[in-house]
Amino acid sequence: MGYFWEGHICQCLSRISSLRRDSPVTIFGNRQKTGKQFVESVINLAQGLREIGLRRGDVVAIAAVNSDLYLEWILAVAYVGAVAAPLNYRWSFEEARLAIEVVTPVLLVVDEICSFWSLKLQNNNLDFLRWYAVLGDLSSLHSNVDNVLTTETLMKPSHISKQFDYTWAPEGIALICFTSGTTGRPKGVAITHTALIVQSLAKIAIVGYNEDDVYLHTAPLCHIGGISSGMAMLMVGACHVLIPKFEAELALKTIEQHHVSSLITVPAMMADLVSNIRKHKSWKGGEHVKKILNGGGGLSVELINNATKIFPCAKLLSAYGMTEACSSLTFMNLYDPRGEKNDEREIREKKSSIINNPGGICVGKPAPHVELQIHRDGSSCIGRILTRGPHVMLRYWDQAPTTVLKFEDEGWLDTGDIGWIDDYGAVWLIGRLNGRIKSGGENVYPEEVEAVLRQHPGVSNAIVVGLPDSRLTQMVAACIQIKEEWQWNNQAGHLHERQEQRLSSDILQLHCKQMNLTRFKIPKIFILWRKPFSLTTTGKLRRDEIRRQVMAQLQIFPSPL
């Protein structure tokens, strides 16, 4: 049974089987598969899953690092009308158990990294888990387990490869992709086949992915960014190069070895690539790269400049999005070696002409399939960013749609972000609604202040939090990480000193004023931060945890209720 008027992610198999029949479509270590071999593997695995009893609508959880087999499993599960639920391999066992209890899979697939999860779960009396499987031939790790399957033993020769008679899961769901947030248990986001396909088409159109690309999987396939970009590459019939997980040195070696033409990054990845290239001046892989899409936060001007030097032929773009919207909502062109378009420069030039510019960080314009709206609470142009369209998730797996679609009568998803849209259609982010600081009756969004602080040449990173204050309700405080060659001296008198590469609270407050940051948004307290900022396993900032650490350091205690 299928919804034949809708898209299905396995429709890419037809193109792959003909376009790349005898050329590599996946490369993982020493293992390469042609298009013909890859498609046969997917269909044979799907046939084996059908034979053991996997049915339409069943959930299959996958916990593994990246590999060619991971891609095959995602497609094979979808082929039989089941739903894949990728788990984050960086989770603790407790986090994994909570996620598994949310989606109640009938099958858990693991690799060597996560193999101990299946052993532990069998002692948790989870009746819904009927089978355990391993990616590859790792059965020796489960010598005491009777119902463990392997990818190799599951694959059954099939005679339906030319028919592509795939099946849709109920409601057209293809994936359950987890978003951790910063507190509480992981939330499973139900994403449809249609959402994945329209997101892929947007990336193909805007980034320019095509069949000649050699794509390096830098992002994990358990994250929506890694899944959606990987899906776009499957749709165009590109070649996939997979490494287990991102390590800068391995990534650079792989780029050079396989002439990688396309990859995605987050700012931390780009910083690591730049740092490692400086150590290996003989590296020569940069000219092969033609497309880089950055997500997970904006690149600093310094990183953009460095990236364009080490990847001189690459079109560099950034994207803003979220798991609940199937990855990217907006795109911005940061650099094009052909000089045809530079959204960042154009926006910077137009910014000065915008009357009463509320500020924020520009994240570009919406993709063609994305509808955005600003829900304002008053006369201000700033408000909550809403989106609707085929890209929006169906729901959180264990919740009704009305718990997410705050404006359910019209189908709008509240992103939780605050921002505005200028007269040219560009979206500007102010901050997260749940991170807002209320200081002296005014709203302060940490992300806006952080963006200003990071523009100082001596600041490598900055995190802003609100601290309890009897007069202001909350006081704006900034945790500052400084660059190695800079010195921190918070003694009075340094504001007027001419010495280079010194930082202090006074100097940073003056910087904020010179950057035209509104007075009530300028931090009252600056704290030199010498350790890494707390992050979730998906790389999101644990702002509440940082706030608690600051309060403990300053011996500030919350008022009793």
Residue 3 — pLDDT band, cuts 50, 70, 90? very low
- Establish if 377 belongs to a structural domain: yes
Task: Give the three-class secondary structure for 123.
Answer: coil
Q: Are residues 476 and 549 in the same domain?
A: yes
Q: What is the structure's pLDDT at 439?
A: 87
- pTM equals 0.84
Q: What is the structure's pLDDT at 94?
A: 86
Q: Are residues 124 and 151 in the same domain?
A: yes
- Establish if 333 belongs to a structural domain: yes
- Establish if 3 belongs to a structural domain: no
Q: Are residues 204 and 325 in the same domain?
A: no
Residue 162 — pLDDT band, cuts 50, 70, 90? low
Range of the domain at 204: 9-245
Q: Are residues 92 and 181 in the same domain?
A: yes
Residue 351 or residue 524, greater confidence: 524
Final residue of a structural domain among 416, 435, 454: 435
Tokens of residue 365, six digits: 């314009």
Which residues contact residue 493 at a Cβ distance below 8 angstroms, ignoring those fewer than 6 apart? none
Cα atoms in the Cβ-side hemisphere of radius 13 Å centred on 260: 28
pLDDT tens digits for range 239-264: 999 999 999 999 999 999 999 999 99
Q: How many domains does the chain have?
A: 3
**Looking at the predicted structure, is the pLDDT value of residue 323 above 90?**
yes
- Would strands 413-421 and 173-179 be described as parallel, antiparallel, or unpaired? unpaired
- Establish if 49 belongs to a structural domain: yes
d(CA 125, CA 223): 28
- Establish if 560 belongs to a structural domain: no
**Looking at the predicted structure, is the pLDDT value of residue 159 above 80?**
no
CATH number, domain of 502, equals 3.30.300.30
CATH number, domain of 389, equals 3.40.50.12780
Residue 361 — pLDDT band, cuts 50, 70, 90? confident
Local structure of residue 76 (DSSP, 8 states): H
25 — phi, psi (to 5°)? -115, -25
Residue from 313, 323, 419, 301 nearest 364 by CA: 419
- Establish if 449 belongs to a structural domain: yes
Final residue of a structural domain among 435, 451, 484: 435
**Looking at the predicted structure, is the pLDDT value of residue 378 above 90?**
no
**Looking at the predicted structure, is the pLDDT value of residue 16 above 90?**
yes
Q: What is the structure's pLDDT at 26?
A: 98
Residue 398 — pLDDT band, cuts 50, 70, 90? confident
Q: Are residues 341 and 406 in the same domain?
A: yes
Q: Are residues 212 and 310 in the same domain?
A: no
Mean pLDDT on 26-38: 96
pLDDT tens digits for range 77-115: 999 999 999 999 988 888 899 899 999 999 999 999 998
pLDDT tens digits for range 258-311: 999 999 998 889 989 998 998 877 888 889 999 999 998 778 888 899 999 999
Q: Are residues 112 and 229 in the same domain?
A: yes
Q: What is the structure's pLDDT at 406?
A: 54
Q: What is the structure's pLDDT at 405?
A: 53
* 364, 318 contact by CB (below 8 A): yes
Final residue of a structural domain among 245, 279, 301: 245
d(CA 543, CA 529): 14
- Establish if 425 belongs to a structural domain: yes
Q: Are residues 429 and 322 in the same domain?
A: yes
Q: Are residues 353 and 457 in the same domain?
A: no
Mean pLDDT on 209-234: 96
Residue 559 — pLDDT band, cuts 50, 70, 90? very low
d(CA 340, CA 481): 37
Q: What is the structure's pLDDT at 184?
A: 58
CA 174 to chain centre: 18
Q: Are residues 61 and 169 in the same domain?
A: yes
Tokens of residue 286, six digits: 């940069």
Least confident of 157-161, 369-373, 437-441: 157-161
- The Cβ of residue 274 has, within 10 Å, a number of other Cβ atoms equal to 18
- The Cβ of residue 163 has, within 10 Å, a number of other Cβ atoms equal to 9
For the chain, percent of residues with pLDDT exceeding 90 = 60
Residue 14, amino acid? S
d(CA 365, CA 350): 14
Residue from 292, 317, 298 nearest 218 by CA: 292
For the chain, percent of residues with pLDDT exceeding 70 = 87
Q: Are residues 69 and 192 in the same domain?
A: yes
Least confident of 174-188, 231-245, 306-320: 174-188
Q: What is the structure's pLDDT at 350?
A: 59
Residue 192 — pLDDT band, cuts 50, 70, 90? very high
- Establish if 2 belongs to a structural domain: no
- How wide is the angle at C-alpha 336 spanned by C-alphas 330 and 341, nearest 5°? 70
Q: What share of the chain is helix, strand, coil (3-state, %, to 5)?
A: 35, 25, 40
Residue from 432, 182, 176 nearest 323 by CA: 176
Least confident of 380-394, 404-418, 465-479, 511-525: 404-418
Q: Are residues 451 and 431 in the same domain?
A: no
Which residues contact residue 272 at a Cβ distance below 8 angstroms, ignoring those fewer than 6 apart? 248
Residue 56 — pLDDT band, cuts 50, 70, 90? very high
| End-to-end alpha carbon distance in the chain | 56
**Looking at the predicted structure, is the pLDDT value of residue 1 above 70?**
no
Q: Where are the beta strands (DSSP E) in 295-423?
A: 315-322, 327-335, 361-366, 371-376, 383-388, 395-396, 413-421
Which residues contact residue 371 at a Cβ distance below 8 angstroms, ignoring those fewer than 6 apart? 387, 388, 389
Which of 55-64, 160-169, 390-399, 402-411 is modeled with the greatest confidence?
A: 55-64
